[in-house]
Amino acid sequence: MKDLTEKASIYSAFISGVRDYLATENHDMPGRKSKSADTHRIALSLRPYFPPSLSIDIDTDGADILIHRDDSCPLAVFWCSRYLTAQQRKRIEAFGKDVKATLTLAFTPMHGRDFFLVYRFADDAIDYIHIDKETGAETMLRQRPVYGRKEARQLHLPLKGRKKVTS
């Protein structure tokens, strides 16, 4: 139960920080700044929501933002201005497992829209969630099984190719 409570707390802090970032930035002109500059601003917006004992680093070890302590990594964050590609999703999933992040998240600000998209990576699935920029209301769009894993409840039968019928 502690693990679930910890993940919920980290997730809530992340959402609050990103909402602060999106509320203070002018996103009508995407691409006006470098990704590093925006990443720095996002990290600054996250800082008030995490204890001072945690370090927040940007552009390190492959993550855009890494929130960590000496021996643990509560949060790894990735972001991009467009939807994530399959290759990016695979790389993010692998990164989260390598650093043993408690929570691995990616997000897309969705310029010109009233929501932003969050990708929440879990052991067995990736959640796609729309977050209302003003209210913080969440809408779960879909849940996709993690690459290379079969869903536990799904039946998998080895099927052979059809035989040709000749007349």
Q: Where are the domains of the chain?
A: 2-145
Band the pLDDT of 107: cuts 50, 70, 90.
very high
Across 50-62, average pLDDT: 91
Looking at the chain, the whole-number percentage of residues with pLDDT higher than 70 is 81
Per DSSP, helices labelled H in the chain are: 2-24, 35-46, 86-98
Query: The pTM is what?
Result: 0.80
Across 8-23, average pLDDT: 93
Neighbouring C-alpha atoms within 13 Å toward the C-beta of 68: 19
For residues 22 and 114, what is the distance between their CA atoms, to the nearest angstrom?
Answer: 10
Return the amino acid letter for 71. D
For residues 39 and 41, what is the distance between their CA atoms, to the nearest angstrom?
Answer: 5
For residues 128 and 120, what is the distance between their CA atoms, to the nearest angstrom?
Answer: 7
Judged against a pLDDT cut of 80, whether residue 1 lies above it is answered with no
Judged against a pLDDT cut of 70, whether residue 49 lies above it is answered with yes
Q: Furthest-apart CA pair in the chain: how many Å?
A: 78
Judged against a pLDDT cut of 50, whether residue 155 lies above it is answered with no
